[in-house]
Amino acid sequence: MRLGSFFLTFWLAPDFVQAASSVDWIWSAKYVVTMDAASRMFKNGAVAIRGERIVEVGPRAAIERKYKASRRLDRPESVLLPGLIDAHTHAPMALFRGLADDRRLQDWLENFIFPAEAKNVTPDFVRWGTLLACYEMLLHGTTTYADMYYFEETVAAATKQAGMRAVLGQTIIGFPAPDAKTPQEALLRAEKLLERYRGDPLIVPAVAPHAIYTTPDHVLKAARALANKYGAPMLIHLSETKRENDDALQKRRLTPTALLDSLGALTGRTLAAHAVWLEDSDLEILRSRATGLAHCPSSNAKLASGVARVPAILKAGIAMGLGTDGFAGSNNDANLFEEMDLAAKLQKVHLLDPEALPAKTVLEMATRTGARALGLENETGSLEAGKRADLIILSLQSSRAVPLYHLISQIVYSLKGGDVTDVMVNGQLVVQSQKVLTLDRAQIFAKAREYRDRIVRSLGLSPSPIE
Amino acid sequence: MRLGSFFLTFWLAPDFVQAASSVDWIWSAKYVVTMDAASRMFKNGAVAIRGERIVEVGPRAAIERKYKASRRLDRPESVLLPGLIDAHTHAPMALFRGLADDRRLQDWLENFIFPAEAKNVTPDFVRWGTLLACYEMLLHGTTTYADMYYFEETVAAATKQAGMRAVLGQTIIGFPAPDAKTPQEALLRAEKLLERYRGDPLIVPAVAPHAIYTTPDHVLKAARALANKYGAPMLIHLSETKRENDDALQKRRLTPTALLDSLGALTGRTLAAHAVWLEDSDLEILRSRATGLAHCPSSNAKLASGVARVPAILKAGIAMGLGTDGFAGSNNDANLFEEMDLAAKLQKVHLLDPEALPAKTVLEMATRTGARALGLENETGSLEAGKRADLIILSLQSSRAVPLYHLISQIVYSLKGGDVTDVMVNGQLVVQSQKVLTLDRAQIFAKAREYRDRIVRSLGLSPSPIE
* Amino acid (1-letter code) at residue B85: I
Q: What is the mean pLDDT of residues A106-132?
A: 94
How many domains is chain B built from? 2
> Residue ranges of the alpha helices (H) in A29-93?
60-66
Out of A301, A331, A353, whose CB is closest to B304? Answer: A353
Beta pairing, strands A391-395 & A67-82: antiparallel
Residues A405 and A348 in one domain: no
Q: Do A98 and B332 touch (CB under 8 A)?
A: no
| Residues sharing a CB contact under 8 Å with residue A90, sequence separation 6 or more, in sequence order | A147, A148, A149, A325, A326, A328
Nearest CA in chain A to B136: A399
Low-confidence ranges of chain B (pLDDT < 50): 1-11, 13-15
pLDDT at residue A26 in the model? 98
Residues of B in contact with A466 (CB under 8 A): 31, 33, 41-43, 407
**B93, part of any domain:** yes
In this prediction the pTM is: 0.95
- Classify each residue of B23-59 as buried b or exposed e, where b means 16 or more C-beta atoms within 10 Å of its C-beta: bbbbbbbbbbbbbbeeebbbeebbbbbbebbbbbbbe
Mutation test of the interface with chain A: which of B81, B97, B240, B364, choosing the one with the most A Cβ atoms within 10 A?
B97
- Chain center to CA of B165: 9
DSSP run (H or E) holding B413: helix B407-413
Q: What is the DSSP letter of B399?
A: G
Nearest CA in chain A to B42: A466
Q: What is the mean pLDDT of residues A373-401?
A: 98
A202: helix, strand or coil? coil
The CA distance from B357 to B346, in Å, is 9
Could you read off the pLDDT of B411-460 as tens digits, one per residue? 999 999 999 999 999 999 999 999 999 999 999 999 999 999 999 999 99
Mutation test of the interface with chain A: which of B413, B435, B441, B462, choosing the one with the most A Cβ atoms within 10 A?
B413
Residues A171 and A65 in one domain: no
DSSP string, A399-422: GGGSS-S-HHHHHHHT--GGGEEE
> How far lies A318's CA from each of A191, A292, B157, B374, in Å?
28, 7, 53, 47
Q: Do A452 and B418 touch (CB under 8 A)?
A: no
> Residue ranges of the alpha helices (H) in B14-58?
none
B424: helix, strand or coil? strand
Out of A303, A342, A417, whose CB is closest to B354? Answer: A303
pLDDT band at A176 (very low <50, low <70, confident <90, very high): very high
Residues B122 and B269 in one domain: yes
CA dihedral B219, B318, B302, B178 (to 10 degrees): -20
For residue A3, which phi and psi values (nearest 5 degrees)? -60, -45
pLDDT at residue A109 in the model? 84
* Amino acid (1-letter code) at residue A315: K
Identify the domain containing residue B356 by its residue range: 84-373
pLDDT at residue A235 in the model? 98
pLDDT at residue B452 in the model? 97
Q: Which of B240, B246, B238, B308 is nearest to B270 (CA)?
A: B238
> How far lies A344's CA from each of A334, A348, A415, B305, in Å?
18, 6, 14, 14
**B380, part of any domain:** no
Residues A50 and A156 in one domain: no
The CA distance from B372 to B366, in Å, is 11
First to last CA, chain A: 82
Query: A120 vs chain B: nearest CA distance in angstroms?
Result: 15
* Amino acid (1-letter code) at residue A311: P
Query: A138 vs chain B: nearest CA distance in angstroms?
Result: 11
For residue B212, which phi and psi values (nearest 5 degrees)? -65, -30
Beta pairing, strands A67-82 & A21-33: parallel
The CA distance from A97 to A90, in Å, is 11
Q: Where are the beta strands (DSSP E) in B83-164?
A: 84-89, 142-149
Residues A99 and A230 in one domain: yes
Q: Are A343 and A365 in contact (CB under 8 A)?
A: yes
**B91, part of any domain:** yes
**B4, part of any domain:** no
Q: Is the pLDDT of residue A344 over 70?
A: yes
Residues B306 and B419 in one domain: no
CATH at A400? 2.30.40.10
Residues B248 and B337 in one domain: yes
pLDDT at residue B109 in the model? 84
Helix-then-strand count for chain A, H and E: 18, 16
The CA distance from A417 to B418, in Å, is 10
The CA distance from B352 to A228, in Å, is 37
Residues B261 and B401 in one domain: no
pLDDT at residue B329 in the model? 76
Residues A325 and A231 in one domain: yes
Q: Do A355 and B448 touch (CB under 8 A)?
A: no
Burial environment of residue B69 by CB neighbours within 10 A (0 to 12, 13 to 18, 19 or more): buried
Residues B159 and B307 in one domain: yes
**A18, part of any domain:** no
Q: What is the mean pLDDT of residues A183-210?
A: 98
* CB atoms near residue B198 (< 10 Å): 13
For residue A357, which phi and psi values (nearest 5 degrees)? -145, 95
Q: Are B335 and B99 in contact (CB under 8 A)?
A: no
Residues A232 and A256 in one domain: yes
Residues of B in contact with A42 (CB under 8 A): 466
Could you read off the pLDDT of A256-303 as tens digits, one per residue? 999 999 999 999 999 999 999 999 999 999 999 999 999 999 999 999
Residues of A in contact with B410 (CB under 8 A): 97-98, 332, 465
Out of A99, A304, A333, whose CB is closest to B353? Answer: A304
CATH at B154? 3.20.20.140
The CA distance from A253 to A444, in Å, is 48
Q: Are B300 and B342 in contact (CB under 8 A)?
A: no
Q: Are A125 and A158 in contact (CB under 8 A)?
A: no
Residues of B in contact with A98 (CB under 8 A): 404-406, 409-410, 413-414
* CB atoms near residue B386 (< 10 Å): 10
* Amino acid (1-letter code) at residue A451: Y
Residues A410 and A331 in one domain: no
Query: B348 vs chain A: nearest CA distance in angstroms?
Result: 5
Q: Which of B147, B223, B159 is nearest to B186 (CA)?
A: B223
Residues of B in contact with A331 (CB under 8 A): 413
Q: How high does pLDDT run on average in chain A? A: 95
> How far lies B430's CA from each of B137, B426, B434, B435, in Å?
12, 10, 10, 8
pLDDT: which is higher, B17 or A360: A360
* pLDDT-above-70 percentage for chain A: 96
Q: Is the ipTM of this complex over 0.85?
A: yes
The CA distance from B413 to B422, in Å, is 20
A6: helix, strand or coil? helix
Q: Which of B165, B277, B131, B298 is nearest to B211 (CA)?
A: B277
Q: Do A413 and B98 touch (CB under 8 A)?
A: yes
| Residues sharing a CB contact under 8 Å with residue B252, sequence separation 6 or more, in sequence order | B259
**A461, part of any domain:** no
Nearest CA in chain B to A338: B338
**A38, part of any domain:** yes
**B90, part of any domain:** yes
* CB atoms near residue B249 (< 10 Å): 15
